[in-house]
Amino acid sequence: MSLLEVRDLKIYYRTPMGPVKAVDGVSFDVREGEVFGIAGESGCGKSTLVHSLILRKPPMFHAGGKALFKGKDLMGLSEEEARKIRYTELSIIPQYAMNALNPTKKIKDIVWDLAKEHGHEDRSEVEKLLRERLAMVKLSPKVADMYPVELSGGMRQRATMVVSTLLNPDLLIADEVTSALDVTTQRVVIELLHHFMEEGIVKSIIFVTHDLALLDKIADRTMILYAGKVAEIAPTEEMISNPAHPYTKLLLDSLPKMGVQYKKQKLRGIPGYPISLLNPPKGCRFYTRCPYVMERCKDEEPPLVKVGEEHYAACHLLGGDSE
pLDDT band at 256 (very low <50, low <70, confident <90, very high): low
| Cβ within 8 Å of residue 158, ≥6 positions away | 137, 138, 139, 188, 189, 192
- Examine residue 77 and state whether it is found in any structural domain, yes or no: yes
pLDDT tens track for 47-88: 999 999 999 999 999 999 999 999 999 999 999 999 999 999
Query: What is the average pLDDT across 262-289?
Result: 85
| DSSP assignments along 112-165, one per residue | HHHHHHTT---HHHHHHHHHHHHHHTT--GGGGGS-GGGS-HHHHHHHHHHHHH
pLDDT at res. 257: 63
Q: What is the CA radius of gyration of the chain?
A: 21
Provide the domain count of the chain: 1
Q: What is the CATH number of the domain that holds 234?
A: 3.40.50.300
pLDDT tens track for 160-172: 999 999 999 999 9
- Using CA atoms, how far residue 244 sits from 19, 138, 144, 215, 266, in Å, is 31, 40, 48, 17, 23
Indicate whether 274 pLDDT > 60: yes
pLDDT at res. 237: 95
pLDDT at res. 320: 47
Query: What is the average pLDDT across 284-290?
Result: 96
- Examine residue 97 and state whether it is found in any structural domain, yes or no: no
- Examine residue 305 and state whether it is found in any structural domain, yes or no: yes
- Examine residue 14 and state whether it is found in any structural domain, yes or no: yes
- Examine residue 59 and state whether it is found in any structural domain, yes or no: yes
Strand partners of residue 60: 13
The domain of 221 spans 2-81+209-314
pLDDT band at 271 (very low <50, low <70, confident <90, very high): confident
- Using CA atoms, how far residue 35 sits from 11, 144, 193, 252, in Å, is 23, 29, 9, 20
Indicate whether 13 pLDDT > 70: yes
- Examine residue 170 and state whether it is found in any structural domain, yes or no: no
Note the pTM of the prediction, 2 decimals.
0.93
CB atoms within 10 A of CB 145: 14
pLDDT at res. 212: 86
pLDDT at res. 259: 59
Distance, CA of 211 to CA of 40 (rounded, Å): 8
- Examine residue 276 and state whether it is found in any structural domain, yes or no: yes
- Examine residue 106 and state whether it is found in any structural domain, yes or no: no
Which of 99-113, 127-141, 308-322 has the least mean pLDDT? 308-322
Residue 180, phi then psi, degrees to nearest 5: -105, 15
pLDDT at res. 263: 64
